[in-house]
Structure 1
Amino acid sequence: MADTQLVWLRQDLRLADQPAFAAAAVAGPVLALYVLDDETPGEWKIGGAQRWWLHGSLASLANELEARGGALTLRRGRSAEIVAQVAEESGAAAIHATRHYEPWWVGAERELGERLTLHEGDVLHEPSDIRSGSGGAFKIYGPYYRTLESHLPPPEPEPAPRKLTAPGKLPPSDRLEDWELLPTRPNWATGFDVWEPGEAGALKHLKRFAAEAEHYANRRDLPAEVGTSNLSAHLHHGEISPRQVWHGVGAGSGDKFRRELAWRDFSRSVILADPDMGTREQRPLALPHRTGKQAESDFAAWSKGYTGYPLVDAGMRQLWVTGWMHNRARLVTSSFLVKHLLLDWRRGAQWFWDTLVDADYANNSQNWQWIAGTGFDSQPFYRIMAPLAQSERFGAAEYIRRWVPELKQLPDADIHDPWGRRVAPAGYPEPLVGHRDGRERALRAFRKARGGG
């Protein structure tokens, strides 16, 4: 009888193209373990929206494992301690896991030491292999991608094991319901029913997007269109692999999207170079961020979508209701917070961390630092998005009507700037700050930070 193989699951909740499962299934009976760990990540424990998604994803995975003869064990606590404990309880001969790049997971992997066998499955290609001529990590995406191209395409994804054998005796397991991952009082996630967590849901989105990928370059920036892949949460939770997505979209029509997928690899490379990028500015600006009562009131209005800027409000309300926001709206809402409101980007990043179903430490931190002009690879701070012009340029009228219903009667010519057009309905808030005033305030702060007075 072969010895038990323990598979430690984290953000890799799938069976297809899952090298840890594949290696374990060949070696012996498979014991799958997920640990709900709020201790190891510290301040980066998963937020409320991710917890909602995790419940559905684990329920789906448990069903898939059972259908193939396997089983899922659930425990709660510090990952390294629990994994070692379950390995001892089950007499596991080996521990398998997908390599992850968040600093807390790197630490947990190191703590488990030689008992742990790591497999590549979270990226297109191992980021530590992508090095500059001097041997260091790339800090700019362009040269990173050009080097990554020499390792592409990635290998074809592997199918899920058709049959798994569970150990004769399973260790005790928590009940998923007892973790209370789903909100109840109140249930703020009623709008999350647009999602289908789990491997099956991921494959549905991939199939839908693959048929439309040829339009991605033209539609991706249009909030009113279904032009993005909607795969970000599935990728974050590991319900589908980057290799599956790469090959699934096909050559040619999906080239633009594939470059965006490679940005995900790049962000993992960056957190290996700078594990603290979620809080530490990579190129510090030392901006005099606003604080005090009015700043707090402005942040509250931004977070709930009551800024007086229709595209900003639509994006923030979509986030609150569904746990997701269109990419163009993410750019505009984050720029508005950091520049028009002159608030610390870390506050916005933390809000996204708690409210996004796809909140990913590497991507979230990298993208906020890109907006704030503080990242290794970022736009300059003085490039300030004009939210009214962005709304009109990217045809956001129907998007605004859906998420800001008090404006739904306005025609396209007025809906992007109802206050400027003097047609704002009663009850719609006045802008927190005028575009020109907010822009000039941000530029004064930038000059001050640069020592220009």
Structure 2
Amino acid sequence: MNVSVVLFTADLRLHDHPPLRAACEGPGLVVPLFVRDRAVDASGFAVPNRLTFLADCLRDLDAGLRDRGGSLVVRSGGVVEQVCRVVEETDADEVHMASDVSAYAQAREQRLRRALEAFGRRLHVHDTVTTVVPPGAVTPAGSDHFAVFTPYFRQWSPHPSRDVLAAPRAVRLPDGVGSEPLPSRADASDVSPGLAPGGEAEGRARMTAWLREGVGGYEDQHDDLAGDGTSRLSPHLHFGTLSPVELVHRARKAGGPGAEAFVRQLAWRDFHRQVLAARPQASAADYRTRGDQWRSGPDAHRDTEAWKAGRTGFPLVDAAMRQLRHEGWMHNRGRLLAASFLAKTLYVDWRVGARHYLDLLVDGDVANNQLNWQWAAGTGTDTRPQRVLNPLAQARRYDPDGAYVRRWVPELAAVRGHAVHEPWRLSGPERAALDYPEPIVDLAESLARFRRARGLE
């Protein structure tokens, strides 16, 4: 009987899963395989928050497969080596997997294809598993990718989308396929205390609740820091416990300005992937260099450590950084503000900040994280690369009554009104009673420094 291997990577679900659906369509047997990639561990990408969420996802995936007569096979080591080993053990004819965009993922796919072809096996790579529109499916005249979002979105929106696929009813696993034990949350330490649970069941419950109760107000509320009117589905999109294709279909069915604004955010996710697919070096190098001579040395290190600890003296920045440490997640408006503050106000290399985000974010995604950091630093696709987000102006607009700051900076909880955003202006005794630092930088001076560094003065 024919045997197919389905290699799960960043697509840990049963619903709307083209590789799994293709493998299950025939009368043969299926090996659902996940490889704990030691190269990812060695790179420093396998951090506690994502390992913990991953453990939830794998256990939930295994439970779903067992409900259908199968189970998840887990191996550790090099992906190519382990896939080939399973293929040999089961005499599998073919391997199905999702496409991906990072330089590492593209190289992995090429190595795996060559290895399988060497002994007469086929590799089927499926698009639109982790994106709505495949990278390269829409391009401008004279280029292999869009460098500006708005014209990309104009072509992305009407692009045909495939149908949503049902989860398979049955998955038949060959006898005798060995598997390592599934990881568990107990295996990880130094996990953010407020980390959300993972897994497809959790993701689908969140999706259903969001589309029923939250998406309608998204256009007006998505930047409200205290109101937190976001979907919080980004970890599930990162691990693939939810399908972006299904999300777009269901959001468009819900309709309305909120759903349209939400779909636009999903398009941003595809936009970053088509940039990275075409320019994989943008994960570490400036997409558009500005000739920056970033600050370094003891003073820059001191400022960076204060930023990481949420002790910059600017309450909105500090609230965002503390939310990141506590939840392994941060509101998108907070991400942009904190990134602009490090890269432009403190003039520290964006790669330092991007690495810190990746150390903590459960949804830490190379395409979104690195390219959003470049957007904030003015080295990426931003059409206004010299803009600087002023934390006080951002506070007035997105946390006007200070509720977000009081939630995450408890030492300022008793400060009333908008004064919570400028505690250095409080009267002597009131200021002296606060265990909170003075601003580490003067905003006017830092803006002048940035403008000089960019040759704008």
TM range (shorter): over 0.9
1:416-436 CA-to-partner distances (Å, cap 9, x unmatched) read: 111134454431011110211
Alignment check: 8 A CA contact 1:414 1:421 kept: yes
> Corresponding residue for 1:307?
312
> Corresponding residue for 1:318?
323
1:252 aligns with 2:267: no
How far has the Cα of 1:42 moved from its partner? 6.0
1:144-180 CA-to-partner distances (Å, cap 9, x unmatched) read: 111222314x23311111221111221x222234897
How far has the Cα of 1:205 moved from its partner? 1.5
Alignment check: 8 A CA contact 2:5 2:33 kept: yes
| Superposition RMSD in Å | 1.8
Alignment check: 8 A CA contact 1:401 1:407 kept: yes
- Pick the aligned partner of 1:394 from 365, 373, 398: 398
With normalisation by structure 2, the TM-score equals: 0.92
Partner Cα distance (2:90, 2:205) in 1:
36
1:189 aligns with 2:188: no
Partner Cα distance (1:94, 1:327) in 2:
40
> Corresponding residue for 1:205?
206
Partner Cα distance (1:40, 1:330) in 2:
24
> Corresponding residue for 2:289?
284
Partner Cα distance (2:57, 2:285) in 1:
32
With normalisation by structure 1, the TM-score equals: 0.93
* Segments ≥4 residues shifted beyond 4 Å: 178-181
Partner Cα distance (1:413, 1:100) in 2:
45
Partner Cα distance (1:361, 1:307) in 2:
26
1:220-271 CA-to-partner distances (Å, cap 9, x unmatched) read: 1111013111010100100000011112222234001101101111111001
> Corresponding residue for 1:146?
154
> Corresponding residue for 2:54?
54
How far has the Cα of 1:40 moved from its partner? 5.9
Name which of structure 1's ranges 358-367 and 19-28 shifts more when overlaid on structure 2: 19-28
1:110 aligns with 2:110: yes
**Aligned residue type for 1:241:** S
How far has the Cα of 1:372 moved from its partner? 0.7
> Corresponding residue for 1:160?
167
Partner Cα distance (2:191, 2:68) in 1:
35
> Corresponding residue for 2:279?
274
Partner Cα distance (1:286, 1:428) in 2:
36
- 1:274-423 equivalences in 2 (<5 Å): 274-375=279-380, 377-395=381-399, 397-422=402-427, 423=430
**Aligned residue type for 1:122:** T
Unaligned runs of 5+ in 1: none
SS at match of 1:128: coil
Alignment check: 8 A CA contact 1:40 1:78 kept: no
Name which of structure 1's ranges 89-98 and 232-241 shifts more when overlaid on structure 2: 89-98
1:446 aligns with 2:454: yes
Partner Cα distance (1:350, 1:315) in 2:
16
- Pick the aligned partner of 1:173 from 157, 174, 179: 179
1:370-400 CA-to-partner distances (Å, cap 9, x unmatched) read: 011111x215343111101211211251111
Partner Cα distance (1:44, 1:101) in 2:
19
**Aligned residue type for 1:174:** E
Partner Cα distance (2:302, 2:439) in 1:
13
SS at match of 1:34: strand
Summarize the Cα distance change of 1:64–1:332 in structure 2 as closer, same or farther, 3 Å threshold.
same
- 1:419-430 equivalences in 2 (<5 Å): 419-422=424-427, 423-424=430-431, 425-430=433-438
Partner Cα distance (1:44, 1:189) in 2:
17
**Aligned residue type for 2:82:** I
SS at match of 1:75: strand
Partner Cα distance (1:364, 1:394) in 2:
22
Summarize the Cα distance change of 1:242–1:188 in structure 2 as closer, same or farther, 3 Å threshold.
closer
Name which of structure 1's ranges 431-440 and 310-319 shifts more when overlaid on structure 2: 431-440
Name which of structure 1's ranges 379-388 and 320-329 shifts more when overlaid on structure 2: 379-388
Unaligned runs of 5+ in 2: none
Alignment check: 8 A CA contact 1:381 1:446 kept: no
Summarize the Cα distance change of 1:39–1:433 in structure 2 as closer, same or farther, 3 Å threshold.
same
Partner Cα distance (1:220, 1:346) in 2:
27
- Pick the aligned partner of 1:229 from 228, 231, 234: 231
> Corresponding residue for 1:16?
15
**Aligned residue type for 2:447:** R
Name which of structure 1's ranges 134-143 and 397-406 shifts more when overlaid on structure 2: 134-143
Summarize the Cα distance change of 1:373–1:311 in structure 2 as closer, same or farther, 3 Å threshold.
same
Alignment check: 8 A CA contact 2:412 2:434 kept: no
